[in-house]
């Protein structure tokens, strides 16, 4: 498990570097912010981004660690509330492996934008989500707060739930169906609350 966590963290750091260096380039920033800011202000933003890029790396690493710990704790509480006694480590192992799924859309995002010859904006980068409901529509048709919800509905969350359900079937007498029912209720409730919080922030800050 420790090896997989280290590998995932290394991949996240590499992806963070790729997004900042290969995707969000100076030309993208200039094109996206040119109508709102002066060239001097844009230059300050670019210089600041280069100077404090280490913050992005820290956020990626700590964000990943916090996510796997929170989700593992959620499932641990779910099982114990069902009077199923299990240690925290096997649950954490399952979540760590399952969370590798969420690296796939990040890799796809880097490949798509780093290899395209078309021009794109910061808004398009931020809202691009391969495999989500958002990818089926034009982002310009939705308000910023609505985009959050559509990005949250994606194939990666479904794959995550399916994998965890199969891993947890041993705690429910080998029944994948019962495991899936419990995982879906708990995980989707937490996901809904988190998405609602993000929507609230989007509405408040817009």
Residue with tokens 């844009």: 42
Structure tokens of 30?
Answer: 């200039």
Q: Provide the total of helices (H) and of strands (E) in the chain, helices listed first.
A: 10, 0
Cβ neighbourhood burial of 51 (10 Å; 0-12, 13-18, 19+): exposed
Q: What is the mean pLDDT of each run of 10 residues along the chain (206 residues)?
A: 90 92 83 76 79 87 92 93 90 94 93 83 82 76 73 90 94 92 91 83 70
Q: What is the pLDDT of residue 169?
A: 93
Residue with tokens 């290969």: 22
Which residues, other chains included, contact 68 with Cβ-Cβ below 8 Å and sequence gap of 6+? 5, 92, 95, 96, 99
Phi and psi (nearest 5°) for 103?
-80, -25
Q: What is the pLDDT of residue 97?
A: 94
What are the domain boundaries of the chain?
2-205
Distance CA 100, CA 11 (A): 10
* Number of Cβ within a 10 Å radius of residue 7: 12
Q: What's the distance, Cα to Cα, between the start and end of the chain in Å? A: 40
Q: What is the pLDDT of residue 105?
A: 93
Q: What is the pLDDT of residue 21?
A: 86
Which residues, other chains included, contact 106 with Cβ-Cβ below 8 Å and sequence gap of 6+? 12, 15
Distance CA 62, CA 98 (A): 18
DSSP conformation class of 171 = G
Between vectors from CA 15 to CA 61 and to CA 5, what angle results, nearest 5°?
40
């Amino acid at each position: 498990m420790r090896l997989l966590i280290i590998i995932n963290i290394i991949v996240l750091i590499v992806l963070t570097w790729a997004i900042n260096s290969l995707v969000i380039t100076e030309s993208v920033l200039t094109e996206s912010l040119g109508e709102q800011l002066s060239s001097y202000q844009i230059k300050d933003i670019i210089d600041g981004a280069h100077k404090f890029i280490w913050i992005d790396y820290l956020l990626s690493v700590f964000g990943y660690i916090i996510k796997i710990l929170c989700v593992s704790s959620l499932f641990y509480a779910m099982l114990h509330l069902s009077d199923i006694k299990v240690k925290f480590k096997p649950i954490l192992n399952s979540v760590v492996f399952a969370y590798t799924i969420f690296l796939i859309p990040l890799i796809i995002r880097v490949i798509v934008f780093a290899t395209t010859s078309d021009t794109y904006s910061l808004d398009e980068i931020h809202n691009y989500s391969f495999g989500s409901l958002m990818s089926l529509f034009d982002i310009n048709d939705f308000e910023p707060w609505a985009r959050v919800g559509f990005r949250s509905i994606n194939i990666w969350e479904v794959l995550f739930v399916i994998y965890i359900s199969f891993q947890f079937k041993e705690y429910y007498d080998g029944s994948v169906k019962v495991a899936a029912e419990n995982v879906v209720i708990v995980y989707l409730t937490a996901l809904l609350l988190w998405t609602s919080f993000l929507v609230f922030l989007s509405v408040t800050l817009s």
